[in-house]
């Protein structure tokens, strides 16, 4: 573990009371996203709905946004937020009525008031459907088990590949045109969802799948790369170092924020699995993943570089909210797993950075990106697109 250079003076007590209050404000802000026609609006910086109707048929709703709202407001229900159950129910209804393909099965990536826009079937999106089902189930939603069965049928029959024990990526609407690409991001989020599913329904098969993914992605590949997480793979599951990617979900090179996220997930997998001896490698892996990402990617001005090249050099200095939020949650996970207070040594610096640059104290919500001067900018994401990573950070340490 390394000590982060202070970029601001830490003067606030970022304890449980502060986090609960910030979570309430965040949930209040994003509750405005509820769309009476189904699903949720994207929100502008001031909390108003963003204009987004490319076909003139109402706002586009993307699968990961619908599902993350369900997950986040299930967390909100645990914090007794008054709108939580209504929003969970609203999102669940739209998954079945808006995103679910009744002919071919699986869930469309994006839809508007007239129906599907992007009909691709993505493993990434389906992982979040499972997370939504598990989270809704944890707060007693009556359709959670049905959603779980619907999405798990597709995950096992369409996406899962026994060798190596991971999911492929994207198919056409009718499950033709098998994907040439294999990616780490979908597998990371499926691991998260499988852990949540096991916590809700206690099916050991969920842990078996999660362990298979973690062993392949982290114990095999990240370990071999000196605890750098490969993101992109060829069809035969060889690391693709030359993948050019796209800036949002598949950036080229390596993404240190994902190493931080993986560190948290393998610890949660170990904990959920009852500290099984077969998972003993996970504490070593989490410690090494987190430490290397902090060392390689934390910038002198604060925040993490978005991507690195394969030599560990900074490739893209874009500063986003989510790696810092994940670093908060992973710090708590490492402390819980090891009992060593050293892992909490940077908590105040991480929160101070988020508080100073990403939390909007005037309008509410979190800014997604800041420029070199620390001011909010919108280059990759419009408005305030996320509650999911912010709630992950704010929920950490409240266990």
Q: Look at residue 8 in the predicted model and tell me its pLDDT.
A: 62
Tokens 């810092």 correspond to what residue?
A: 324
CA gap 389, 14 in Å, rounded: 17
Q: Helices in the chain by DSSP H: which ranges?
A: 16-30, 63-78, 84-94, 123-138, 144-154, 184-201, 204-214, 223-224, 256-272, 281-297, 321-338, 347-357, 388-395
Separation between Cα atoms, residue 42 and residue 40, nearest integer Å: 7
Share of the chain above pLDDT 90, in %: 89
Tell me the backbone φ, ψ of residue 316, rounded to 5 degrees. -130, 115
Domains of the chain as residue ranges with CATH: 16-395 (1.50.10.10)
| 354 contact partners, CB below 8 Å, separation of at least 6 | 321, 324, 325, 328, 366, 393
Structure confidence by residue, pLDDT tens digits, 349-363? 999 999 999 999 999
The answer to whether the beta carbons of residues 106 and 156 sit under 8 Å apart is no
| Integer CA distances (angstroms), 81 to 32, 48, 85, 86, 144, in order | 14, 21, 8, 10, 20
How many residues belong to the chain?
399
E-assigned strand segments in 136-208:
160-161, 166-167, 170-171, 182-183
pTM, full prediction: 0.96
Q: DSSP state, 158?
A: I
At 247 the pLDDT is 67
Lookup: tokens for 78: 């645990």
**CA 27/CA 34 separation, integer angstroms:** 12
Which of 90, 141, 258, 335 is the catalytic position? 258
Beta-carbon neighbour count of residue 56 at 10 Å? 8
Number of DSSP helices (H) and strands (E) in the chain, helices first = 13, 13
Identify the pLDDT of residue 12: 85
pLDDT at 20: 97
CA distances from 212 to 48, 125, 198, 281 (A): 42, 20, 15, 13
Longest dimension (CA), the chain: 57
Q: Cβ contacts of residue 158 below 8 Å, gap of 6+?
A: 105, 106, 121, 171, 175
Q: At what angle do helices 256-272 and 184-201 cross, to 10 degrees?
A: 20
The catalytic residue among 90, 232, 335, 389 is 389
And the tokens for 6?
């202070």
Question: Which among 295, 293, 345 is positioned nearest to 322, based on CA atoms?
Answer: 293
Q: Cα 154–159–161 angle (5° rounding)?
A: 130
Q: What is the pLDDT along the chain (399 residues), one digit of tens a residue?
A: 666 765 566 568 999 999 999 999 999 999 999 999 999 999 999 999 997 766 766 789 999 999 999 999 999 999 999 999 999 999 999 999 999 999 999 999 999 999 999 999 999 999 999 999 999 999 999 999 999 999 999 999 999 999 999 999 999 999 998 888 999 999 999 999 999 999 999 999 999 999 999 999 999 999 999 999 999 999 999 999 999 887 677 888 999 999 999 999 999 999 999 999 999 999 999 999 999 999 999 999 999 999 999 999 999 999 999 999 999 999 999 999 999 999 999 999 999 999 999 999 999 999 999 999 999 999 988 999 989 999 999 999 887
CA distance 347 to 14: 9
Question: Do the Cβ atoms of 217 and 184 come closer than 8 Å?
Answer: yes
Using CA atoms in the order 326, 330, 333, 339, what is the torsion angle rounded to 10 degrees?
Answer: -150
Q: Could you confirm whether 258 is annotated as catalytic?
A: yes
């Amino acid at each position: 573990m390394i000590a982060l250079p202070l970029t601001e003076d830490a003067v606030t007590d970022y304890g449980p009371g502060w986090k609960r209050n910030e979570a309430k404000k965040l949930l209040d802000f994003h509750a405005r996203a509820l769309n009476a026609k189904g699903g949720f609006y994207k929100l502008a910086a001031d909390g108003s709905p963003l204009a987004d109707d490319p076909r003139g048929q109402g706002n586009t709703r993307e699968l990961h946004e619908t599902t993350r709202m369900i997950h986040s407001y299930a967390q909100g229900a645990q914090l007794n937020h008054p709108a939580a159950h209504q929003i969970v129910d609203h999102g669940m209804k739209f998954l079945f009525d808006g995103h679910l393909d009744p002919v071919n099965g699986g869930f469309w990536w994006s839809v508007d008031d007239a129906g599907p826009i992007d009909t691709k079937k993505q493993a990434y999106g389906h992982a979040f459907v499972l997370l939504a089902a598990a989270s809704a189930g944890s707060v007693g939603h009556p359709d959670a088990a049905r959603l779980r069965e619907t999405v798990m049928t597709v995950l096992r029959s369409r996406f899962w590949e026994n060798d190596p024990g991971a999911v492929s990526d994207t198919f056409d609407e009718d499950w033709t045109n098998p994907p040439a690409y294999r990616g780490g991001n979908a597998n990371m989020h499926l691991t998260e969802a499988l852990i949540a599913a096991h916590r809700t329904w206690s099916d050991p098969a969920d842990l078996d799948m999660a362990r298979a993914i973690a062993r392949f992605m982290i114990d095999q590949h990240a370990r071999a790369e000196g605890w750098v997480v490969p993101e992109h793979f060829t069809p035969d599951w060889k690391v693709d170092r030359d993948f050019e990617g796209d800036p949002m979900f598949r950036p080229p090179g390596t993404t240190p924020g994902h190493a931080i996220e993986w560190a948290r997930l393998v610890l949660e997998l170990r904990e959920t699995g009852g500290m099984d001896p077969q998972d003993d490698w996970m504490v070593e892996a989490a410690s090494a993943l987190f430490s290397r990402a902090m060392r390689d990617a934390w910038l002198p001005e604060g925040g993490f570089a978005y991507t690195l090249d394969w030599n560990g050099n900074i490739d893209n200095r874009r500063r986003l909210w989510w790696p810092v939020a994940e670093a908060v949650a992973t710090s708590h996970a490492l402390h819980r797993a090891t009992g060593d207070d050293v892992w909490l040594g940077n908590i105040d610096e991480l929160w101070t950075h988020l508080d100073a640059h990403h939390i909007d104290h005037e309008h509410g919500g979190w800014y997604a990106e800041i420029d070199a001067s620390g001011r909010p900018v919108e280059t990759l994401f419009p408005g305030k697109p996320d509650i999911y990573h912010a709630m992950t950070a704010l929920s950490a340490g409240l266990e």
